[in-house]
Amino acid sequence: MWSFAGSLQPEPAASRPDLLAAPVAHAVAALPEAGSVGVAAIDAGLADTAAFCDAYGVAAADSANCVIVKGKRGGDVRFAACVVLATMRADVNGVVRRRLDVRSASFAPMEEAVALTGMEYGGITPLGLAAEWPILVDAAVAASAGVVVGAGIRGAKLFLPGAVLAALPGAEIVEGLGRPIG
């Protein structure tokens, strides 16, 4: 089922809440398609995408990164999660800034992202985020038969079809959200 998992052998995520941050475990349990979501334990020191892909034989094109973006307009602060393939970079200053309708947008500071999500830095995932936040999913991620994302902790990864991410509450498929790196 999770043929893109490299050397890892995922288990159904719903049966392993010990490998998920609390908000992620709640979100997985609420998914109608929870059976299509797998989880595998990894070395927490290898949670960063390049190290993870190298160590476990997962292609970067099968990995997706979730970044929290903070935008401001006057005194109003808005957050969004952006999900792009690991081979791409989120267009924060263009696509995301316009979507949030803010004057400036940037990656949320690590401490703030961790505090607001209830997840570990390097493991933040779109599952289990604040209901009022938009989840911007690059069209390439949504179309993917399977991607690897964080599990809310650095010591695990989730394996799921891109369609599951695209169907999350608050998710929007965004063409051109990801820009090629380099």
- Report whether 21 contacts 39 (CB < 8 A): no
DSSP state of 63: B
- Report whether 19 contacts 39 (CB < 8 A): yes
CATH number belonging to domain 11-170: 3.90.960.10
Instruction: Classify 40 as helix, strand or coil.
Output: strand
* pLDDT tens per residue across span 128-165: 999 999 999 999 999 999 999 999 999 999 999 999 99
**Is it the case that residue 1 has pLDDT exceeding 90?**
no
* pLDDT tens per residue across span 8-55: 999 999 999 999 999 999 999 999 988 899 999 999 999 999 999 999
- Report whether 162 contacts 143 (CB < 8 A): yes
Q: At which residue do the structure tokens 């010990």 appear?
A: 18
What is the pLDDT of the chain when averaged over all its residues? 95
pLDDT confidence of residue 86: 96
pLDDT confidence of residue 181: 87
Closest CA to 155 of 69, 56, 31: 56
* pLDDT tens per residue across span 87-121: 999 999 999 999 999 999 999 999 999 999 999 99
Question: What are the distances in angstroms from CA 22 to CA 60, 72, 104, 109?
Answer: 27, 29, 31, 21
Q: Which strands, in side-by-side order, build the sheet including 38-41?
A: 11-12, 38-41, 156-160, 147-150
The domain spans of the chain are 11-170
**Is it the case that residue 174 has pLDDT exceeding 80?**
yes
